[in-house]
Structure 1
Amino acid sequence: MPGIPGTGHPPGFELTQSQGNEKLQCSNHDATHMLVLSPDGELSEQWATASSSCCKTRLVRELRHQDIVQISCGDQHAMALSRGGELFTWGKNAHGQLGVGSLTASIPQPHLVKRLKGIPLAHIAAGGAHSAVVSLSGAVYSWGKNGFGQLGLGDTEDRDCPAYVRALEHWKTVFIACGADHTAVLSKEGLVCTFGAGGAGQLGHNSTQNELVPRVVAELWGARVSQVACGSQQTLVYVPSLDKVYSFGSGEEGQLGDGRKPHQLIPLPITSPANIEKLCQENSTSQKVTGSITRGIQSSVLRKMIKNSYLKEIATLKDKDVDAWISNSSLQHWELIKQNIRLIFSSEACINGSFLGKSDKHFKTSKEFSGVDMSEVQQFYEKIRKKPEVLQEVQKEIKKLLLSLSSSPISPENFRLYLILPFLLRGNDDSSFHSLSLLAQAITRLQPKALQTLEHLLSNLETPFFRGLVFLYQRVSQKNVSEFVTDIVQRGMDYLISPYDGNSREPETLQILQILYQVNSRAGFRVLAKNFYVPQVKEAIVNHMNFCANTPLWNLTKYPCIFSMEDKLLVYDIESKTTAVHLGPVVLRTIAWEQWLFPVRRQYLLQDLWNNLNSASTQQFRSILKAAGRGDIFCRVGTLCGMALYNSCLVPFPFPAALYKKLLGLAPALQDLEELWPPVGRNLQAILDEEDDRIFESLEMDFTIMEEGDSMVAVELKENGASIPVTKDNRKEYVDLYVNYVFNESIRKPFEDFMQGFLRGCPAEKWKMFLPAELQIVLQGQTKFDWHLLEKNVIYSHYQPSDETIRNFWTVFHKLSEDKKKKFLAFLSGSDRISAYKLERFTFSIVDPQVANPDEIYPYANTCSLILFLPRYSRKGILKKMLLCSIEHDEMFGLL
């Protein structure tokens, strides 16, 4: 593909044909150091003596088992990239140019640059005493000497390990070249950036200034450069549309024969292509310039510009290779296939470099976007599973790789394999389950920042593939939990004698499932919560957990996602009704609250309530938090709500959903503001949806919010907010700060008081397992009912379901409006809501009071025992009239 950016060799490369094979050699800028890669894969290096009349040659035996695809020479150091994606460096290291994390003076043998492990590299380059690489998705890393800013990091400090050049993020870099103290990079669109030393004009910016960050060479804008190379103090570029090579920088000694100035500050064509080729042939016999750039242009660089020699790449998956794996089955081919599979799937870098989208989207790889085309992963799996031996070989190599994954990757490109590998490890056998467990262990070893990056990438995964990940980890978690529970049960009552020592560790797949659950929660529940449930935990709770909350089984509660709401209620009920008192090695239990009488008078309900709360002892609350102050209404209300939760009582306060999010430590969103304050919420959403810049100008909004008090006051949402206009670019930040102010900043003290009281009233902790919507139901009760289920759960006394009165009753009831039905529920139970504990089990009794004249008595209820006394009626009209009269009349709502 002539002319495609990134297909040329680095400066100092020369290709010579020998019996159809290529011998690759490169040298530094003054020809004192040369690497030679023979056709049979042997790598050797040559060092010139002081007189340059002879060379010392050494075979680089340390890399004899590596398939080297790229080499590069600095003044006193060397780089070699293997086909398996590993980068090796050796030589002088006074400035950290080897990238091994130290400033050791010299390292004579090749060392792996561990910090770049797993990053799929596209190109490597060595400068005078600095180094740089480009990944397949355009990420640039540099290290070593930085006295002139040649690392592009915005300063002049040396680096002893690879640093990410953030200024080139998303620039679609495909090629990089290093001079003695400057660097040039090429984008896929053909733009050239240079940085570092500019004293000889080698940066092409019409000046001799140094540049600490990458700067576009403006004179080449629109030229669509396809090749770039650097000499010691010179830069060359090739423009295929004009078929010309341009140069800038030092031109001493007139090597090009065009009589140009010693220092050329802007790119100018050096000569015609025909003359370049002739010049190359003439100079190829000159020992002075052969294989080198001597303070200027080297003939082999010019030849490379014209002939577009290709770089070899690291091994990545190709469709044609996969098709060959599937179609070939002979023993000879199978051995070669296994070698290819081993090469790719034993390498993090090779896996991360595979499955990239066919378009340029992967150049946008970031903490938000992985760059992986997951449909390609799916298609690959579908192909190889038709050939079991291929699938088995792929999974075998992956399993070996899982044991050596890094815990602190530096690039989003490192994380691709965490998205890819689960879909390649699918299967119903123990081996697949074990491999997924190993992958889970590798993920749990990630450092917090790395894990946060993975969560961001997961949150932006397409829903079908995210759902697939949930399914995979949920299925293997079921098996792991079963084994975990079995192990604990076999160890049995030992935990009553001595506390849990931590030897029985819960499966790591549960941690991954919980991570996916949290990502799913933040993304608005793209996957239903029930897809995370692990049914085996219910059996563990019912049969074993109740005897001792100090067993490893209790640790399963750290993963709320695997519990259904019914399971969570059971766990919470166990915790809230029991407290542990340690007496020596034996764990005993007492029932909380059972001796705390809470007398209240109906006519002084609130007064008695506050008096009891204020006079309660710490022991009564089973809490070490201090008591609420008498004047703090928020703390009192919080205490009341906490007590209700702890005692499984309903408090149907009309709290918004945002409160339950805040109780659980989750950030309220714009949707919560719209629920609380509909006009404002809709207006903010309209701001996010607006695409016309003129609208923002006409609104004249800034980063303030008007706060009501004795007078309207403008509160700044950020520092100097009154001076920052809201624009199309910063509107998301404005909305986020607005929501944060309403739900956090403006109510910080009242909420802290409420939370203090809530924790005082509810000493249990497992309520944090609930989702916000679930906690709302637990506290406020269910407001949506299955009335037919209510009918199904009824217990009859002196009646049969087939009796005419019963049939008439339900016929009348089901014809009532929803509001009337809820009033009947209040008439029956004292509340128009059903407790979360009774959602599926709510029941009441219908009893025949056996009165002499049923037409003279209304239905009445005993709310304490949930009994409806229903006289026998034969006529639906009278039944309906009396039922409505009962539920509408305040005095007939029940006997408390």
Structure 2
Amino acid sequence: MPRQQRAPGRCPGLPSPACSWLCFPKAPFFPADPGAVRQICCKRGCLAVVKTDGTVGVWHSAEKAGGQSREPRHIKLKKNVKVEAVDCETSHLLILSSKGELSEHSLALQNVKSKPRHLTELRGKWIIQLACGDHHSMALSKGGQLFTWGQNEYGQLGVGREMSSAREPQLVQALEGIPLAKIAAGGSHSMAVSLSGSVYSWGKNAFGQLGLGHTEDRFLPTYVNALEHKKTVFVSCGGEHTAVLSKDGLVCTFGAGCHGQLGHNSTCNELYPRFVAELFGARVSQVACGRWHTLVYVPDLEDVYSFGSGSEGQLGNRSKSDQLIPLPIKLRKKGRRFNQEASASKEQIKVIAGDNQSIVISLKEKNSYANLNQALARVGEEETDKWVSNLDPNQWQNIKRNIKLIFSLTACLNGSFLKKSQDEHFRTSQEAAGINMSALLLFSDKMAKNPKVLTGVMDAVKKLVQSLNSSATSPEALRVFVIIPIIIRTQDLCSDSPLKQLARAIQFLQPEGKQTLESLWSNLDFPFFKDLVDNYQRLSSIMLSSFIKQRGSLKPEYLTEVISWPFQILQMLYKVNCRTGFRIQEKNFYVPEVKEMLLLPKFNPTQNIEQVQEIFMSKFNEIKFALRVFTQIPCVLDMEAKIQLHDLNRCFLYFEYSWPYFGVFTEVSVSRQNLVQDTWMFLRSMQDINFQHFLKVCFYGEPGIDDGGLSQEFFTILTRELCAPEAQIFRHFEESHLIWFSSQVPAQEDIYFLIGNIFGMALYNMKIAAFPFPLALFKKMVDIPLTLEDLKELCPIEGRCLQALLDEQYDDIIESMMLDFTVMKEERGSKVSVELKENGANIPVMKYNRTEYVDAYVNYVFNDSIKEQFNDFMRGFVRGSPTKHWNMFFPAELRVVLLGRTEYNWERLEENAKYNGYEKSDETIRNFWVVFHGLPEEKKMDFLAFLTGTNRVPSQGMESFVFTIEDAGKENPDLWYPEASTCLHSLSLPRYSSQDVLQEMFLFVLEHYEKFGLA
């Protein structure tokens, strides 16, 4: 703290020792009754004083008055309207009335009688704060909107580069929705502080007065990162420097320092905000910037400090030299300090800094200085209770106006419900919205008890959500997206709910805004996040049901333009759920109506072909739109719906490439003896267009027709041969019985590209290719990072060892493992060391870096070591499966779709069985099921493969498997051989088959299983 100076002397420039003014330098023009002052503004050689009677007196300096009389010019507004505040720029004086209206008055002496200009553009806005620079003005409304006008050479209006000046007030759209607490204007720069302490700057920056760390001008408001979480509550601007004040009484200054006006014992400029070290330990309550000097007031010490230019004596130290550090002004009269007298009489001390002027004023509390920092309209607990409990109809109109103002303007709502305990709202960021959720819930509950208040709030909110700012990126501006769902939580959801319009507004946010909103969501308490998911899920369901009912009168485009909005929000929430570990089950995101939406129409036999075509084409277009929408939001689909969507997608693609010749197939002829070689030859000769058609397989020398069974058999046999250890294509892990790519297979060979082809073709043709891959492959396919848990599945031994390393508590044990950042790999029959990071062989694994080592190890196994092999595989997969939306499947779902299931429910198989020529009660059928259920588990699986081409269950489960038993029409079962139609999953049985006959039938099938190529 600077040493306090004391010097005798009476107050300069005051008419009597008992007055309440101190002015530096001495000013010969003052109001006759200084005790009747409401506000003072001294700029550009003028002194404007707002009196308590609501009038304004304006004095000009001798230089500006040109030697004329120094009698004040008096300005009075119309009858019954008082002046609330004033500020001035070079040529104009702005006057704010007690009704929140602005007028502009000329300061030129020759235009004393000129008519003032009323800023009609701001009529109805209720202005609460003013700020003037040299040639520009700012006004903040009660609704939180900031308006600027004047010159814009340096961007000081904050509206972009397009206009060089503006006579009419312009809305600063970049700050729309941010609840502002204070605005300030410098010579050619502007500043604003939000209720949560965020600071924004724009305009001229030649000396770093914007605090951004550089000297480039800014034409739009820019967030001052260096002041983040500093609890800034006030800002003042000098000609080319800035001072900010924190709630804790700390002062930061930045910009031009040529006269020491920054207080850093230096004349250097500061590009970043820097604390005034000389004021450490003091709790500053006021700061005011003149053109080249700065004043601060420390109430605990009852001192006003000054620093900067003293050329006119404005520092109050009886000297005209510059002052580089804060020193107290000599405030003494008749043996008593001026501020001690004020303190004793409980008067208020105010400091005002003009261009080259300093004023200290003491006012009694009952005649308190005008509140130049009026706050925007907000919801408070007292206001809520007043609204809900007020039964006086005479007060309702006023309450209704307040509700409309607060809930129809974003800044007001964003400034409400702040979490003020322990100043938490000052920590607002992407990680914290700064909202008092308890207060918000309480407000919602109270509001629901008063229908009039509830209706007023809902009407205002509906208006608000239709005008939300799509360019908002600040957490403070995006609070509204968290607040509104809670406010309307008690309302029944419908297709016209504000939640729908809120979803639309979210969709129109810029990517940065969406990212910030997702961060705010991710830091919500679980119940609030769960409610958000539930509400959007129910809204999606309601809107889709309504669309389905009206599908005849609504165009398909309506699906993408309107209905997709809440679905898109669900997808965003699902991503947040995955990242944060909220662990909301996937079923909570499902919208069951999607499956109904994707159903193809059923045709009436009485309809003619033209009617059928018309219905089909309308449905065709509708489903095409549905495909486009729902493939982008897979979280709303359960696996059954995704399979349905995938099936439709591939069918439409097939029709598109086959039109007008349906029935075009890609036919593959292979021999069982040379299946792999024949397949590779076929794939290498195929054109990309051939993959668009469905597959038909023919085995040389066999009469079978592929109705689905032969192609499944093809994939089953091919998978078995490629995965055999002797094929030496994959790495085999004995403990897990899983496979992985081998780095030993040369990348220049196309084996993995061809295997990718097979995998893709299986998906496109809805077949099972049971390569025993771990979940890691399917996570890589959809670009999800892999972890140690994935390695544990593939190689449990290595996974357990690495987990033990992570769990070890003692440093010496970790050191004794003698690990470094290398891994051994086989290469041409020998093992070589591979570094996991640069110079890894010389970096021992210690406790502090073991997590990095494990991550690097996992990354090497799953990524670096097989990078080219996997890339080949994916190129082949994309070629083999031309549908572009296969990645709508989650990794676990994709594995099930491609590899099938191994959970068997044979009782369900019997329940689902259908009969052609038989009844369920027939003896042959009863005998069949007795014999079947008596088979060992592996024999049942073999028989399933005989019927379908694979012993795996389709992804939909055994519930979806329909098995038909047909009457073979043979009286003598001894002359019958088993026959299966795998396309229809049917089996022909002769009549009067006893249990012995059926037992022999099963033995025949199972003993000759290898003959069918599936063993």
TM-score range, shorter chain: 0.7 to 0.9
- The answer to whether structure 1 residue 641 and structure 2 residue 759 are counterparts is yes
- The answer to whether structure 1 residue 137 and structure 2 residue 256 are counterparts is no
- The answer to whether structure 1 residue 609 and structure 2 residue 679 are counterparts is yes
2:290 partner letter: G
Q: What secondary structure sits across from 2:662 in the alignment?
A: strand
Distance between the aligned counterparts of 2:530 and 2:692, measured in 1?
Answer: 42
In the alignment, is the contact (CA less than 8 A) between 1:707 and 1:715 conserved in 2?
no
Distance between the aligned counterparts of 1:50 and 1:737, measured in 2?
Answer: 77
- The answer to whether structure 1 residue 714 and structure 2 residue 823 are counterparts is no
In the alignment, is the contact (CA less than 8 A) between 2:901 and 2:957 conserved in 1?
no
Partner of 1:754: 873
Partner of 2:58: none
Q: Deviation at 1:261?
A: 7.3
Partner of 1:262: 321
**Normalising by the residue count of structure 1, what TM-score does the alignment of the two structures yield?**
0.80
Q: State how 1:789-804 maps to structure 2 within 5 Å.
A: 789-790=908-909, 792-793=911-912
Partner of 2:723: none
Match of 1:366 among 406, 415, 429: 429
CA 1:348–1:633 in structure 2 vs 1: closer, same or farther (change >3 Å)? same
Q: State how 1:564-643 maps to structure 2 within 5 Å.
A: 564-577=638-651, 579=653, 588=660, 590-591=662-663, 593=665, 596-622=666-692, 631-643=749-761
Match of 1:326 among 388, 391, 396: 388
- The answer to whether structure 1 residue 395 and structure 2 residue 458 are counterparts is yes
Q: What secondary structure sits across from 1:412 in the alignment?
A: coil
Distance between the aligned counterparts of 1:689 and 1:362, measured in 2?
Answer: 38
Q: State how 1:422-501 maps to structure 2 within 5 Å.
A: 422-426=485-489, 433-490=496-553
Distance between the aligned counterparts of 2:530 and 2:693, measured in 1?
Answer: 41
In the alignment, is the contact (CA less than 8 A) between 2:307 and 2:322 conserved in 1?
yes
Range that drifts further, 145-154 or 647-656: 647-656
Q: What secondary structure sits across from 1:783 in the alignment?
A: coil
Q: What secondary structure sits across from 2:324 in the alignment?
A: strand
Distance between the aligned counterparts of 1:457 and 1:210, measured in 2?
Answer: 37
Match of 2:439 among 376, 387, 395: 376
Q: Deviation at 1:362?
A: 2.8
Over residues 337-369 of structure 1, what are the superposed CA-to-partner deviations in whole Å (9 max), with x where a residue is unaligned?
111111101111111112222333333333343
In the alignment, is the contact (CA less than 8 A) between 1:437 and 1:509 conserved in 2?
yes
Partner of 1:421: 484
Q: Deviation at 1:265?
A: 1.9
In the alignment, is the contact (CA less than 8 A) between 1:49 and 1:56 conserved in 2?
no
Q: What secondary structure sits across from 2:430 in the alignment?
A: coil
Partner of 2:354: 293
Q: State how 1:860-875 maps to structure 2 within 5 Å.
A: 864=982, 865=985
In the alignment, is the contact (CA less than 8 A) between 1:228 and 1:235 conserved in 2?
yes
1:400 partner letter: K
**Normalising by the residue count of structure 2, what TM-score does the alignment of the two structures yield?**
0.71
- The answer to whether structure 1 residue 154 and structure 2 residue 217 are counterparts is no
Q: What secondary structure sits across from 2:513 in the alignment?
A: helix
1:349 partner letter: A
Gaps spanning 5+ residues in structure 2: where?
A: 1-37, 43-47, 55-79, 344-349, 603-614, 695-746
In the alignment, is the contact (CA less than 8 A) between 1:830 and 1:863 conserved in 2?
no
Range that drifts further, 374-383 or 252-261: 252-261
In the alignment, is the contact (CA less than 8 A) between 2:473 and 2:516 conserved in 1?
no
Partner of 1:514: 571
Over residues 621-664 of structure 1, what are the superposed CA-to-partner deviations in whole Å (9 max), with x where a residue is unaligned?
1289xxxx993111111011111112222122222323223323
Over residues 23-79 of structure 1, what are the superposed CA-to-partner deviations in whole Å (9 max), with x where a residue is unaligned?
543446x99754433334343444533799999955444434222222222233222
Over residues 269-294 of structure 1, what are the superposed CA-to-partner deviations in whole Å (9 max), with x where a residue is unaligned?
3356973448999xxxxxxx997524
- The answer to whether structure 1 residue 212 and structure 2 residue 271 are counterparts is yes
Over residues 802-839 of structure 1, what are the superposed CA-to-partner deviations in whole Å (9 max), with x where a residue is unaligned?
999899889988xx99x999789779867553111444
Range that drifts further, 241-250 or 10-19: 10-19
Q: Deviation at 1:124?
A: 0.9
2:692 partner letter: R
Range that drifts further, 429-438 or 439-448: 429-438
Over residues 317-353 of structure 1, what are the superposed CA-to-partner deviations in whole Å (9 max), with x where a residue is unaligned?
1111111111113322221111111110111111111
Q: What secondary structure sits across from 1:526 in the alignment?
A: coil
Measured on the aligned residues, the alpha-carbon RMSD in Å equals 5.2
Distance between the aligned counterparts of 2:811 and 2:326, measured in 1?
Answer: 39
- The answer to whether structure 1 residue 562 and structure 2 residue 680 are counterparts is no
Range that drifts further, 101-110 or 158-167: 101-110
In the alignment, is the contact (CA less than 8 A) between 2:425 and 2:433 conserved in 1?
yes
Q: Deviation at 1:739?
A: 6.3
Range that drifts further, 501-510 or 730-739: 730-739
In the alignment, is the contact (CA less than 8 A) between 2:287 and 2:351 conserved in 1?
no
Match of 2:245 among 170, 186, 189: 186
Range that drifts further, 214-223 or 38-47: 38-47
Partner of 2:779: 661
CA 1:194–1:506 in structure 2 vs 1: closer, same or farther (change >3 Å)? same
Partner of 1:834: 953
2:301 partner letter: L
Over residues 436-491 of structure 1, what are the superposed CA-to-partner deviations in whole Å (9 max), with x where a residue is unaligned?
33222222222333333333333333332222222222222223223433444457
Over residues 135-168 of structure 1, what are the superposed CA-to-partner deviations in whole Å (9 max), with x where a residue is unaligned?
1222111011111100011111222221111222
1:607 partner letter: Q
Distance between the aligned counterparts of 1:517 and 1:36, measured in 2?
Answer: 53
Distance between the aligned counterparts of 2:825 and 2:291, measured in 1?
Answer: 67
Distance between the aligned counterparts of 1:699 and 1:243, measured in 2?
Answer: 67
CA 1:729–1:539 in structure 2 vs 1: closer, same or farther (change >3 Å)? same
Q: State how 1:796-835 maps to structure 2 within 5 Å.
A: 831=950, 833-835=952-954
Q: What secondary structure sits across from 1:366 in the alignment?
A: coil
Match of 1:769 among 888, 895, 898: 888
CA 1:709–1:715 in structure 2 vs 1: closer, same or farther (change >3 Å)? farther
In the alignment, is the contact (CA less than 8 A) between 2:295 and 2:351 conserved in 1?
no
Distance between the aligned counterparts of 1:87 and 1:65, measured in 2?
Answer: 14
Distance between the aligned counterparts of 1:726 and 1:170, measured in 2?
Answer: 38
- The answer to whether structure 1 residue 530 and structure 2 residue 530 are counterparts is no
Bigger-Rg structure (1/2)? 2
Distance between the aligned counterparts of 1:222 and 1:174, measured in 2?
Answer: 18
CA 1:680–1:382 in structure 2 vs 1: closer, same or farther (change >3 Å)? farther
Q: What secondary structure sits across from 2:756 in the alignment?
A: helix
